[in-house]
Amino acid sequence: MGKNLAEKILQRYCSEEIKKPGQIVPCRVSLVLANDITAPLAIDSFRKMGATKVFDTAKIALVCDHFTPNKDIASAEQVKKVRLFAREMGIVHYFEGGNSGVEHALLPELGLVGPGDVVIGADSHTCTYGGLGAFATGMGSTDIAAAMALGETWFKVPETIRVNIHGDLGRYTTAKDLILNLIGRIKVDGALYKAIEFSGPILERLDTEARMTMANMAIEAGGKAGLFPSDQITVEYCREHGRKEADLLKSDDDAAYALNLDMDVSGMAPQVACPHLPDNVHSVEDLEEIRVDQVVLGSCTNGRISDLREAAQIIRNNKVDQNVRFIVIPATPGIYSQALEEGLLEIFMRAGAVIGPPTCGPCLGGHMGILAAGEKCLATTNRNFKGRMGSLESEVYLGSPYVAAATAVAGRIIHPERL
């Protein structure tokens, strides 16, 4: 019996033979990640474990991105703790201030993750790197502390759902719409404990950034990982981002899957997830008139340069509705300067947007765009749980950069075509 993608990648880092899903196996890791919220707990656990040094100073990434630039004294103390630990341990990949950005946009951009890697992070959206063909998954701080000390962890080999995606993409239909549609179908626990492997002819139409957008939201269906095979598109991305080696990886023809899903995306309109779960997904055309107070373009889902470009296409020569706060947050300093160079930031500013520094910011209700009771926001982020962006009585809708930009202009959720 052949191996699917998850099994293949895990096998590269595991000395035991991987035979079937459900097997619990020890596994080495290529990179261990934590952020300013989860690293402080990991550091506590690391010390309590009696560890005095990390397994490899170049295989740990500590990214201060959630409440940064530090929003208050408590968050400043947390970052300080992470900084001091990074110095003490000699950790090479420590990010804060001008070199920091949203972790899952930052690490691929710097070539720190690539196909065939096994990456674990104390952040649920670590699964983003599946867009590059890495087996990447989120864990808690103490699991991460153990891996920082030992360079290994354990996995239950997941079952895999394979999604075969085909058809023609509409003018304004993007990777975000595909993943929202999938979550709407299989629901927030549809991939619980499982990996999702994306396949089919549509892959040729998706660049690496688009693939990362989709892998990013695997967790919103409960998934352990969202995986893309690595192909020429991946190899090209890696080369451009300073990574010399990039293996081509795909599942074996006779690999086993828990479920095979078929998705024909022809004629699919942009999708929107309505409050308060990411699986409450509707076609934008079916939504009644919904006025919004705020639009957020950013995050590890859709804060990359391609997302900014798409939004700018819509914003160009338009004005943001006077009742809307349009907040644009390039996910990393690299994306920020690229957007500056291409004139995108000027387009946003002239239209009346607010541009924030690279941070998670409002995505998790941290800062820089918190909602009051009764307010509604359309965001390109990945979660719309109750209270996620502020008041328990506020509402978050999730959509693509095209829909976000069109909504900012119209003041209500709208199909970009109808602007």
Partner 1 sequence: MHFQGKANKVGDHIDTDAIIPARCLVTTDPFELGQNCMAGLETDWIKRVSPGDLMVAGKNFGCGSSREHAPIAILGAGIPAVIAHSFARIFYRNGFNMGLVLLELGEKVEQISDGDRLEVKALEGEIFNHSTGATIHSLPVPEFMAEILARGGLINYVREKVG
Residues within the interface to partner 1 (CB under 8 A): 24, 37-38, 40-41, 44-45, 48-51, 66-67, 72, 74-75, 78, 121-124, 126, 138-143, 145-146, 149-150, 154, 156, 188-189, 192-193, 222, 224, 277, 364-366, 383, 385-388, 392
Measured CA to CA, the distance from residue 331 to residue 350 in angstroms comes to 20
- Nearer of residues 21 and 101 to ligand SF4, judged by Cβ: 101
Q: What is the dihedral of CA 201, 204, 207, 213, to 10 degrees?
A: 10
Q: Name the minimum Å distance from CB 116 to ligand SF4.
A: 23
CB atoms within 10 A of CB 3: 18
Residue choice 382, 394, 400, 407 for contact with ligand SF4 (CB under 6 A): 382
Give the interface segment with ligand SF4, choosing from 140-148, 192-200, 336-344, 356-364 (CB under 6 A): 356-364
**Adjacent-strand bridge partners of 291:** 412
Nearest by Cα to 309 from 356, 350, 342: 342
Measured CA to CA, the distance from residue 17 to residue 138 in angstroms comes to 23
- Nearer of residues 101 and 365 to partner 1, judged by Cβ: 365
Q: Choose the contact partner of 381 out of ligand SF4, partner 1, none; CB within 5 to 8 A by kind.
A: ligand SF4
Helix, strand, or coil here: 45? helix
Backbone φ, ψ for residue 156 (5° rounding): -90, 120
Q: Choose the contact partner of 72 out of partner 1, ligand SF4, none; CB within 5 to 8 A by kind.
A: partner 1
Residue choice 18, 54, 79, 102 for contact with ligand SF4 (CB under 6 A): 102
Measured CA to CA, the distance from residue 39 to residue 46 in angstroms comes to 10
Q: Does residue number 396 form part of the binding site for ligand SF4 (CB under 6 A)?
A: no
* CB 246, CB 115: distance < 8 Å: yes
Residue 372: exposure state from Cβ atoms within 10 A (0-12, 13-18, ≥19): exposed
**Adjacent-strand bridge partners of 62:** 34, 94
Q: Does residue number 364 form part of the binding site for ligand SF4 (CB under 6 A)?
A: yes
- Nearer of residues 185 and 250 to partner 1, judged by Cβ: 185
Q: Choose the contact partner of 92 out of partner 1, ligand SF4, none; CB within 5 to 8 A by kind.
A: none
Q: Choose the contact partner of 222 out of ligand SF4, partner 1, none; CB within 5 to 8 A by kind.
A: partner 1
Peptide bond into 69 cis (omega under 30): yes
Q: Name the minimum Å distance from CB 54 to partner 1.
A: 12
Q: Does residue number 100 form part of the binding site for ligand SF4 (CB under 6 A)?
A: no
Q: Choose the contact partner of 148 out of ligand SF4, partner 1, none; CB within 5 to 8 A by kind.
A: none
Tokens of 200: 């089919």
Q: Does residue number 125 form part of the binding site for ligand SF4 (CB under 6 A)?
A: yes
CB atoms within 10 A of CB 339: 21
Backbone φ, ψ for residue 143 (5° rounding): -60, -40
Q: Does residue number 299 form part of the binding site for ligand SF4 (CB under 6 A)?
A: yes
- Nearer of residues 131 and 138 to partner 1, judged by Cβ: 138
CB atoms within 10 A of CB 412: 18
**Adjacent-strand bridge partners of 294:** 325, 377
Q: Choose the contact partner of 299 out of ligand SF4, partner 1, none; CB within 5 to 8 A by kind.
A: ligand SF4
Binding site for ligand SF4 (CB under 6 A): 66, 102-104, 123, 125, 299-300, 360, 363-364, 381-382
